[in-house]
Amino acid sequence: MTVFIFLGSLLGAMALGIPIAYALLASGVALMWHLDLFDAQILAQNFINGADSFPLLAVPFFMLAGEIMNVGGLSQRIVNFALALIGHVKGGLGYVVILAACLLSALSGSAVADAAALTALLLPMMIKAGHKKEVSGGLIAASGVIGPIIPPSIGFVIFGVAANVSISKLFIAGIFPGIMIGLGLAFTWWWVGRKEALAPPQRKTRAEVWTAARESVWALMLPMFILVGLRMGVFTPTEAAVVAAVYALFVTTVVYRELELRALLRIFVTAARTTAVVMFLVASAMVSAWLVTVADLPAQMVDLLRPLLDSPTLLLIAIMLLVMLVGTAMDMTPTILIMTPVLMPLVKAAGIDPVYFGVLFIINNSIGLITPPVGTILNVVAGVGRMKMDEVTRGVLPFMVAQVTVMFIMVIFPQTVLVPLRWFY
């Protein structure tokens, strides 16, 4: 009955068109009434405590860093560098999208920001080169999924706070899976375009490649600073976000000189608005998370799935299918905040490494960003690229299948995540 009250009130509020943050609060109030615990003071206290977290300070600074990078020319230089390296091979523009997505994800950690930048910069070039518009848009949308996986990642920060798991270890553990997903996309792009007879662009001269590399070196140094700093214990993930924002601001204003000081106010306002949405979601979800714990729902879930606890692989497959189903109707952040408190007791009871589970969980939620009907990235690509939603959806399907396949390979073979993590750590 408790589960019905919680899910019924949450889904009912969402069906009425109430924003997810308010729907979470509504489900929390309904659960408090059901448990005879309603107290406005407790509700407000948990709401405030939900956002009162030092690790969550990483979110606004990574948001700010991403905005500065897109406006200040770092994203453009990353794309130019990828074009100079591999733009000349057959289907080279597709591989440029994937390589640029991997490099951009190591800068901003935001799937939406990366997808918007890649769409604006590369979709017109791909269409002009003769590639199908829907396939090109689909590849760009699928490549945006890499953003929350390769560190730094806002998704890992939120999961780490909600699950009480080391954010630094999550960052390091996401590197190799992100590369695997990129390779899966590259193979799918080759398979989809193998029959195309398009003339590739002319190979860049060695001097042009060197110029592109030299211009992008400041952007490429940022992920190295962050990863080395985290690995050596120089700073925490939250401090790494501040380093990223200050570094991006310095490079774009002093080195590249493309960011005018008068544009800073607009950048700060945009980052603040995005951060406010995320933090309000986090605060609302923490109210529901506290009540879920009080109502002992995790224990009920453990009892329900107890037959699968002896087989961690089967349990993970069941959880991944459940998260995929939820991802079709809910965005990434609320899914993380709602499901993490429920799933973590199952994961611990089955003896699954929490960092390993966190990587799979974030990958699954990232794929949900390109899963219709919600599909946040699909909407971004369609809007920026001036495409119809159904065109992007058709184009993304083969790439989404590739990403799901790679994810389940990681489920069946945990060493693909755990061995690189142990090597780095």
| Three-class secondary structure of residue 178 per DSSP | helix
DSSP string across 96-136: HHHHHHHHHHTTS--HHHHHHHHHHHHHHHHHHHT--HHHH
Contacts of 39 (CB under 8 A, 6+ apart): 32
User: Which tokens sit at 26?
Assistant: 């509504």
Residue 148 domain flag: yes
Residue 365 domain flag: yes
Residue 210 domain flag: yes
Give 208's pLDDT tier (boundaries 50, 70, 90): confident
Residue 223 domain flag: yes
Q: How many domains does the chain have?
A: 1
Q: Other CB atoms closer than 10 Å to residue 172's CB: what's the count? A: 21
Q: How far apart are CA 191 and CA 141, in angstroms?
A: 18
Residue 359 domain flag: yes
| Eight-state DSSP code of residue 262 | G
In contact, 156 and 170? CB cutoff 8 Å: yes
Q: How far apart are CA 270 and CA 10, in angstroms?
A: 29
**H/E stretch holding 353:** none
Q: How far apart are CA 220 and CA 79, in angstroms?
A: 12
Query: Which of 391, 358, 370 is closest to 115 using CA atoms?
Result: 370
Whether residue 231 is predicted with pLDDT greater than 80 in this model: the reply is no
pLDDT in tens, 111-156: 777 888 888 888 888 888 888 899 999 999 999 888 889 888 888 9
| Three-class secondary structure of residue 19 per DSSP | coil
Give 353's pLDDT tier (boundaries 50, 70, 90): very high
Q: Other CB atoms closer than 10 Å to residue 224's CB: what's the count? A: 10
The whole domain housing 205 covers 55-280+297-424
| Three-class secondary structure of residue 138 per DSSP | helix
Could you identify the residue written with the tokens 């009955």? Answer: 1
Residue 6 domain flag: no
Q: At CA 364, angle to CA 28 and CA 340, rounded to 5?
A: 30
Query: Which of 122, 116, 146, 154 is closest to 136 using CA atoms?
Result: 122
Q: Which residues of 18-40 are buried (b: 16+ CB within 10 A; e: fewer)?
A: eebbebbbbbbbbbbebeeeeee
Whether residue 270 is predicted with pLDDT greater than 80 in this model: the reply is yes
Residue 1 domain flag: no
Q: How far apart are CA 8 and CA 331, in angstroms?
A: 18
Residue 17 domain flag: no
Whether residue 412 is predicted with pLDDT greater than 90 in this model: the reply is yes
Whether residue 181 is predicted with pLDDT greater than 90 in this model: the reply is yes
pLDDT in tens, 62-113: 888 878 887 877 878 888 888 888 877 887 888 989 988 888 887 766 777 7
In contact, 90 and 200? CB cutoff 8 Å: yes
Q: pTM score, two decimals?
A: 0.82
Q: How far apart are CA 404 and CA 368, in angstroms?
A: 10
Of 42-56, 91-105, 408-422, where does mean pLDDT reach its minimum?
42-56
Whether residue 364 is predicted with pLDDT greater than 90 in this model: the reply is yes
